[in-house]
Amino acid sequence: MPGPLPRVTETIRLFAGDCTVEFEGERERTQRGYVVVVVKPDRTVLVHDAEGYQPVAWLTRADELTTETEGDSFSIVARSGEQELRVASEAPTGRREFPASEAGVPVGTCPDCGDALVRAGGEVTCLGCDAAHGLPAGATVLDESCDDCGLPKMRVERGERFELCVDWQCDSLADAVADALDGRWDCPDCGAPLGVVSRGNRPFLGCEGYPDCETTFSIPAGVVVCECACGLPVFETAAGRRCLDGTCDQYYESGVDTTTGP
């Protein structure tokens, strides 16, 4: 039996044969030869001949794209600003369409359909079905699989390091962060505890004095390493150390580390 249909809604179109290629714009020229024309879903048109790795003509993400076919002949017109690329077949040609998706790093096997899982564009997706799992900023996908559902696990830093399933409905990042950080620091404006609240699966720290106090802080992708002079935690992030309060000027005032702790 055939396998599952690929998880794509777009196609790459290929045209091949004896063609006249005309470009108007900064690379103005006319060429003819046996070429392969690639038309991508983002309206990029690439014309390749037998030499080299670079296309002989191209227009990236055209504002307008028109393709016309009649029998075994075709014409393609792509426009972007004052640039125009025209490709017209001069003899019977071949053309095909293929499913297209974003290419990603393989991260495992889909437990639902058995096809490949890849990480691309900030999410883990399956190439064989509709499975897609958005990743938190800074997440690292691990080689380990979730014991409950079989999807890959990820490492996420939000004050502490957490290893969770990439499916937030299986392992909630917001719940894990709440268990670790809820009430550990006080609001710098009113003194009430800072509690972990979330929008979807995105946790942040908010004053428990709300609505009288509306102080909130996004939680950086990093781990807490010490305490700032303002009383809030300092995070070690990929970009360096920073106070929970991104506007705080006490942590590195005039280049001097004013934190306490290690």
* DSSP assignment of 174-195: HHHHHHHHTTSSB-TTT-PBEE
Residue whose C-alpha is closest to residue 185's, from 228, 231, 238: 231
Query: Which is higher by pLDDT, 125 or 101?
Result: 125
The Cα–Cα gap between 34 and 92 comes to: 11
Q: What is the mean pLDDT of residues 94-107?
A: 90
State the pLDDT at residue 27.
Answer: 80
- Alpha carbon distance 143, 102 (integer Å): 21
Provide the pLDDT for residue 93.
Answer: 87
Q: DSSP H helical segments within 114-238, as ranges?
A: 173-181
How many CB atoms lie under 10 A from the CB of residue 72? 12
- Convert the pLDDT of each residue in 218-257 to its tens digit: 999 999 999 998 899 999 999 899 999 988 877 544 344 4
% of the chain exceeding 70 in pLDDT: 92
- Provide mean pLDDT across the span 164-184: 93
Res 6: pLDDT: 44
pLDDT over 90, % of the chain: 73
How high is the pLDDT of residue 250?
72
- Check: pTM over 0.75? Answer yes or no: no
Q: What is the pLDDT of residue 199?
A: 75
CA distance linking residue 123 with residue 119, whole number of Å: 6
For residues 130-145, give the mean pLDDT.
Answer: 92
Q: Is the pLDDT of residue 7 over 60?
A: no
Give the pLDDT of residue 108.
Answer: 92
Is 260's pLDDT higher than 80?
no
Asked if residue 95 has pLDDT above 60, the reply is yes
**CA–CA distance, 220 with 242 (Å, rounded to integer):** 9
At 251 the pLDDT is: 55
CB atoms under 10 Å from CB of 23, counted, come to 21
Distance of CA 123 to the CA centre of its chain: 6
Q: What is the mean pLDDT of residues 78-97?
A: 94
pLDDT at 75: 96
> What is the dihedral sign for C-alpha 206, 211, 212, 215?
positive
Structure tokens at 6: 């690929």
CA distance 231 to 186: 8
User: Which contiguous run of DSSP H or E holds residue 51?
Assistant: none
User: What is the predicted pLDDT for the residue at 143?
Assistant: 94
**Residues belonging to the chain:** 262
The whole-number pLDDT of residue 57 equals 95
- Average of per-residue pLDDT across 163-182: 93
Q: Across the chain, what does the average pLDDT equal?
A: 88
Residue with tokens 């393709």: 67
State which amino acid sits at residue 17: G
- Identify whether the C-beta of residue 19 lies closer than 8 Å to the C-beta of residue 33: yes
What are the structural domains, with CATH classification, of the chain? 10-100 (2.70.180.20), 105-171 (no CATH), 180-257 (no CATH)
Q: Residue 69's pLDDT is what?
A: 92
Query: pLDDT digits over 17-53, tens only?
Result: 999 999 998 889 999 999 999 999 999 999 999 998 8
Of residues 114 and 1, which shows the higher confidence score?
114
